[in-house]
Amino acid sequence: MSGDIVGAWDVSLSDGVYRVEFEHGTTTGKRVIYINGKEVLRRDWMFKLVGKETFPVGSTDTKATISIEAITGFSYEYTLEINGKSLQTFLDNRSKISKTWMLKLGGADYRVVLEKDTMDVWCNGQKMETMGEFTENGSETHFAVENHECCIKATSSGRKRNGIVHSLLVDGIRIEEAIE
């Protein structure tokens, strides 16, 4: 990658965290987008220096758009939108609809994500096979990572405002939620 990187953003999705980098040649109009260091879009000669580039991110092809706007003279502002929302709004909203846990098992790192609206569980980019069951105080979603027994328990907090509490247990041990 050359020295024309003008924007870099980290996008947390269910199947992983993606580093989006944008290269903009303000003399040639060149635009290059990298995801996790891999080039995904390149336009070498662009007459217009401003505009938008839209591209997919992750295995779920989440829609991302980089906007290039001129501020003054030869300075530009670059913003990233995910699914039509600013990155910050998207991430704030994601933290409401998903929960993430990071754990180490047998020396390997795992990132487990629960999508609360669908109850889908992702682990290191793979959607997991799960089995759900209702219990007297909520529900349990069971799945396995390597040969470890994993269970996400959903229980009522007893308070209306924060409704349901989700906790991950691996081999019966509770894992702290990760802050991304």
Tokens found for residue 38? 């891999």
Residue 53 CA to residue 64 CA, distance in Å, equals 8
**The pLDDT of residue 2:** 54
- Are the C-beta atoms of residues 31 and 17 closer than 8 Å to each other? no
Sign of CA dihedral 134, 60, 174, 172: positive
> Going from the N-terminus, what domains does the chain have, and what CATH number goes with each?
5-83 (2.40.128.180), 98-175 (2.40.128.180)
Residues pairing with 42 in the sheet: 32
Compute and round to an integer the Cα radius of gyration of the chain: 20
Tokens found for residue 167? 């906790």
Q: What is the mean pLDDT of each run of 10 residues along the chain (180 residues)?
A: 82 95 88 96 86 94 95 88 95 91 92 93 95 91 94 85 85 87
**The pLDDT of residue 161:** 67
- Which helix (H) or strand (E) segment holds residue 73: the answer is none
Residue 25 CA to residue 43 CA, distance in Å, equals 10
Residue 75 CA to residue 64 CA, distance in Å, equals 23
Sequence-distant (6+) residues with CB within 8 A of 157 are 163, 164, 165
| Single pTM value for the model | 0.83
